[in-house]
């Protein structure tokens, strides 16, 4: 299987596109219970628990300076890593940050972290 470029990746909140996305991450992880017992021959055993999906989005702040969301908001988030394959579901925004480069005058950027609220499709 060949790799694909993320150059066509997009992020939507509701039905609106997030302004000029530069990077995003998606992490699926599972809580793993571990234990040793008289039957484990000196080795740990493991059991998969609940699954969690989290991630980040980095983007440019629009001319209006308005953020599309605030910490604590619940939104419908759609992530398209290659412009067509889609992961989507409810997400809670954990934190929103903005970086303003006064010294160099670079573009104002924003980022937010999110956590899935339930299963995604």
Domain ranges of the chain: 10-116
Class for the domain spanning 10-116: mainly beta
| Cα 34 to Cα 28, 39, 48, distances in angstroms | 19, 14, 9
Predicted model pTM? 0.86
The Cα 48–Cα 62 span in angstroms is 42
The Cα 94–Cα 34 span in angstroms is 28
Q: What is the pLDDT along the chain (121 residues), one digit of tens a residue?
A: 678 888 989 999 999 999 899 999 999 999 999 999 999 999 999 999 999 999 999 999 988 777 668 999 999 999 999 878 899 999 999 999 999 999 999 999 999 999 999 999 9
């Amino acid at each position: 299987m060949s790799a694909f470029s993320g150059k066509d990746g997009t992020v939507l909140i509701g039905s609106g596109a997030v302004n000029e996305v530069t990077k995003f991450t998606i992490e699926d992880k599972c809580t793993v219970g571990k234990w040793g017992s008289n039957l484990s021959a000196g080795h740990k055993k493991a059991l998969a628990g609940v699954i969690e999906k989290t991630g980040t989005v980095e983007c440019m702040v629009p001319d209006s300076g308005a953020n599309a969301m605030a910490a604590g908001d619940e939104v419908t988030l759609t992530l398209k890593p290659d412009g067509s394959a889609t992961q989507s579901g409810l997400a809670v925004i954990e934190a929103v940050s903005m970086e303003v480069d006064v010294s160099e005058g670079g573009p104002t950027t924003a980022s937010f972290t999110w956590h899935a609220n339930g299963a995604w499709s």
